[in-house]
Amino acid sequence: MTPGAAQSSLDHFVQLEQTVGQFPDYVRIVLQGNVYQGRDGAVWEFTYTDPQRGPRHAIDQAFIASNGTEYAIYMSSPAQEDWTTTQQRFDTVLNTFMVK
């Protein structure tokens, strides 16, 4: 959560990728703007190797709420796990997340 976000979610992810992109074995799968709950947002999916936890597959959905706060919903799992299960869990979170 970033109150008073100064940039779009896509621009924020592009900026974060400069750091995350230095992780071992980083590979971008998707990084694009989208609309989430009627608000401008972005989705970022990637793989990398965590030095302590091994290969990871991650996905992050961000959007800026009407009050200017950026929210990010992030999930990752071991890369060798069935991504379909992780994606289903992530979709459930996306479909039930609400800002009050």
Which pLDDT score is estimated for 31? Answer: 98
DSSP string, 42-79: EEEEEEEEETTTEEEEEEEEEEE-TTS-EEEEEEEEET
CATH code where residue 55 lies: 3.40.1000.10
Q: Closest by alpha carbon to 33, among 7, 68, 58? A: 7
53: in domain = yes
21: in domain = yes
82: in domain = yes
100: in domain = no
pLDDT digits (tens, 9 = 90+) for 45-58: 999 999 999 999 99
The pLDDT-based confidence of 1 (bands split at 50, 70, 90) is: low
User: Which residues, in sequence order, are bridge partners of residue 5?
Assistant: none
How many structural domains is the chain composed of? 1
3: in domain = no
Mean pLDDT of all residues in the chain? Answer: 92
4: in domain = no
Q: Is the pLDDT of residue 16 over 70?
A: yes
Angle at 13 between CA 95 and CA 100, to 5 degrees: 40
Q: Is the pLDDT of residue 7 over 90?
A: no
Q: For residue 87, give its domain range.
A: 9-95
Q: Is the pLDDT of residue 5 over 80?
A: no
1: in domain = no
